[in-house]
Amino acid sequence: MAMFYAAASRFFTPKRKYPQHVMSPQLCPRSVILNETRLPGFLTLDAATDMMMRQIFTVKWQKNLRAMALCLATLPLAQAVCTPVLAADIGKSDRLGDPQGNFDNARYSNSSDWKITLGVGAAYAPKYEGSDKLEAGAVPLVSVQYGDTLSIDFSGATVNLLNQNGFRLGIKGGWEAGRKEKDDKKNLRGLGDIKAGGVVGGVIAYGMDPFEIYAKVDKTIGGSEGLTATIGASVSHKVDQFILGADLSATWADDNHMKSYFGVTSAQSARSGLRRYDAKAGFKRIDASASVSYMMTENWTITGTGGVGFLLGDAKDSPVVKKDIQPFAMVGVAYTF
């Protein structure tokens, strides 16, 4: 489940200076969709929307969330997962020009500061970071944004303290999903659970159309008690009703994080049969992704993203890791109020 949340976090985390239009993944899921951050719930839905979501997600809700988590939390792809494409309201961006072609610009001239997006998608991602098994699941797409100042989505909440002349400095809070032994009863047997924890951090970025470079730091309070840092670059370009995006990032993790997710203690070794392994701090993964969003109308958007993560160093060599190449994909449709 943690991997889906991570994937989703990459989708949801805003890197650009425009209101969030669709999602975030980090599924996926915080590196889209690819590290261990789960998606917290921030919205109160009205009765009709709540009924619809219950119908879609009732039977296998927790199982379906796994697909979301790999993205879209380190999803944080270190927020690499095309946040510009999934999270952009192209009409409000001062980094991107007016839409080209036959597109109704009325929506943009009448846009309010508040944006609320609700939708549903499907994600396909590893069961956990390092798993050799992929699974599909339904993904609820929810985001709230106020101008360039506040954004709330499944990766958490971000407040921009500075956002001008291409520079952006923000603080954020969210949570890390941890990992459940039951996520993969075969490969995680005997390793125990990694508890969920709160996450606080910051982000700094500089953008010059159509590119942006960024760096972020996340500290987990509780759970792994780990710290991760991500550096990356993204590009976003729109043509008519399409927004095209790409992202490349690298994620570093401290000893606490590495030992929690990739280490094997003597006790765990005895229970699981895996060799004892001491994972040290260092770069743990590189992520690359591409995405496309199509604005069907002034309110409806369909979006898709795909990418791959490559585990590095002690993470790659861990006996917990069954496959060091971690692909993911996600599609969804959303309505913005």
Q: How many CA atoms lie within 13 A of 249 on its CB side?
A: 38
Report the predicted TM-score, pTM, of the whole model to 2 decimal places.
0.72
**Residue bearing the bigger pLDDT, 176 or 18:** 176
**124 bridge partner residues:** 136, 329
How many distinct structural domains can be found in the chain?
Answer: 1
**Residue bearing the bigger pLDDT, 18 or 324:** 324
Alpha carbon distance 67, 26 (integer Å): 11
Q: Which two tokens stand for residue 92?
A: 């409000």
pLDDT for the residue 20: 39
Is the predicted pLDDT of residue 299 greater than 90, yes or no? Answer: yes
* pLDDT over 70 percentage in the chain: 67
Q: Is residue 112 very low, low, confident or very high in pLDDT (cuts 50, 70, 90)?
A: low
What is the CATH number for 188?
2.40.160.40
Range of the domain at 208: 2-336
**DSSP letters spanning 7-60:** HHHHHH---SSS-B-S------------SS-------PPPHHHHHHHHHHHSTT
Q: How many CA atoms lie within 13 A of 328 on its CB side?
A: 58
Helix (H, G, I), strand (E, B) or coil at 233: strand
Mean pLDDT of the chain: 78
Helix residue ranges per DSSP H, the chain: 2-12, 47-57, 61-69, 83-87, 106-109, 255-262, 266-272, 313-317
**291 bridge partner residues:** 245, 305
* pLDDT over 90 percentage in the chain: 63
Q: In terms of Cα–Cα distance, which of 270, 231, 224 is closest to 247?
A: 231
